[in-house]
Amino acid sequence: MSERGSGKKLSASVQVFEILQSQISSGVWKPGERLPSESDLAEQYGVNRLTVRVALQKLNALGVIETRSGSGTRVLEFDLENYLRTASMFCNVNELSGSVAEFRNHIEIECARLACERADDADMAELERLATQHRMVWMHSDSMEHELWQRQLADADIAFHEQVVHMAHNKLYAYAFAVARGPIYEYILSSVRKWTPEMVASFRLDRRRDIHYSIFESIKSRDFTACQSNYAAMISSYTRAEWAQPVVG
């Protein structure tokens, strides 16, 4: 075991963790392969089994490995996007809410532009399904408790926009959205909560107000000018005190 260049001594468990992490990321142990036993690792690194166990627990928590009783420890296919999405729920949403619209105007609209260029038929079919799902939630507002309806609408909303990001086929943009997903979701939900049951009952989501379906249609037709206009109008609508579905533009 060694010390960092800064002179700060790392605990033995942290050092073992970093060695294992490096070996897994470099492909010494590949997804699906079994790690040596705790006893073997302890002997290899000159530490006790408890030290190894603590290091393995950290890797388990990160979703890098999986330990099962009786079958040992195996390396997992690490899903960074899912990890970032989960971690984003621990962000200080109130602190970040002022940045959401700016983030969406830059990242999501750029992803929509790339989607117009890169999306394939399977991407389009999934986006249409999610746009239709969002519309169906709107139409069934009277068949469920209002707070549940609000959450389902926010769920359908963010699922649609996450798909737009995936259709850009750019991993870094997908990771950026995964980090921001928690604050974006809470921002959407806070906007949806402005709709009282009476407002929902009196509102008709027709073609000129179904902004999500219009965004889908503009991406499908590879018309980024229309897509950008609709996307920007939708993002802007969330910032208004009296929020309403924007008219398709």
Q: Which domain holds residue 215?
A: 82-237
Average pLDDT (136-164) is 93
Boundary (domain end) residue, out of 78, 110, 128: 78
71 CB-contact burial (10 Å; exposed 0-12 / middle 13-18 / buried 19+): exposed
Which residues make Cβ contacts (< 8 Å) with residue 142, sequence separation at least 6? 201
pLDDT at 172 over 80: yes
Residue 6 located in a structural domain: no
Short-list 117, 138, 156, 151, CA closest to 199: 138
- As a whole number of Å, the end-to-end CA separation of the chain is 63
| Domain match, 20 and 129 both | no
| Judgement on whether residues 87 and 190 belong to the same structural domain of the protein | yes
**pLDDT: is 113 or 69 the higher one?**
113
The pLDDT assigned to 3 comes to: 53
- Distance (Å) of CA 78 to CA 32, 56, 60, 84, 183: 11, 15, 11, 11, 24
Residue 90 has pLDDT above 80, yes or no: no
Picking from 59, 78, 97, the residue at the C-terminal end of a domain is: 78
Report d(CA 219, CA 60) in Å as an integer: 40
Regarding whether 65 and 33 lie in a shared domain, the answer is yes
Q: Are residues 27 and 56 in the same domain?
A: yes
Token duo for residue 240: 């208004």
For 75, list phi and psi in degrees, rounded to 5.
Answer: -80, 135
pLDDT band at 190 (very low <50, low <70, confident <90, very high): confident
Q: Is residue 244 part of a domain?
A: no
User: In the numeric block, which tokens belong to residue 43?
Assistant: 């002997």
Q: Does 98 have pLDDT greater than 70?
A: no
Q: pLDDT at position 206, please?
A: 75
Tell me how long the chain is: 249
Residue 159 corresponds to which tokens in the numbers above?
Answer: 């699922």
CATH number where 37 lies: 1.10.10.10
Dist. CA 110–CA 118, nearest whole Å: 12
Please compute the mean of the pLDDT values over residues 40-62 and round it to a whole number: 91
Q: Are residues 226 and 135 in the same domain?
A: yes
Residues 108, 227: one domain?
A: yes
Contacts of residue 124, Cβ cutoff 8 Å, sequence gap at least 6: 216, 219, 220
Q: Please say which residue of 60, 78, 96 terminates a domain.
A: 78
- Residue 116 is predicted with a pLDDT of 97
Whole-number Å distance between alpha carbons of 150 and 153: 5
| pLDDT at site 198 | 87
Tokens standing for 164?
């737009």
Q: What's the average model confidence in pLDDT over 182-209?
A: 84
Report if residue 4 sits inside a domain. no
Q: How many domains does the chain have?
A: 2
The DSSP code for 248 is: P
The residue written with tokens 């009786």 in the block is 70
The whole-angstrom separation of Cα 184 and Cα 162 is 11
Residue 190: CATH number of its domain: 1.20.120.530
Residue 146: inside a domain, yes or no? yes
In 10 A of CB 102, how many CB atoms? 10
pLDDT band with cut points at 50, 70 and 90 for residue 220: very high
Q: Is the pTM of this model over 0.75?
A: no
Let me know if residue 69 belongs to a domain: yes
Same domain, 71 and 89: no
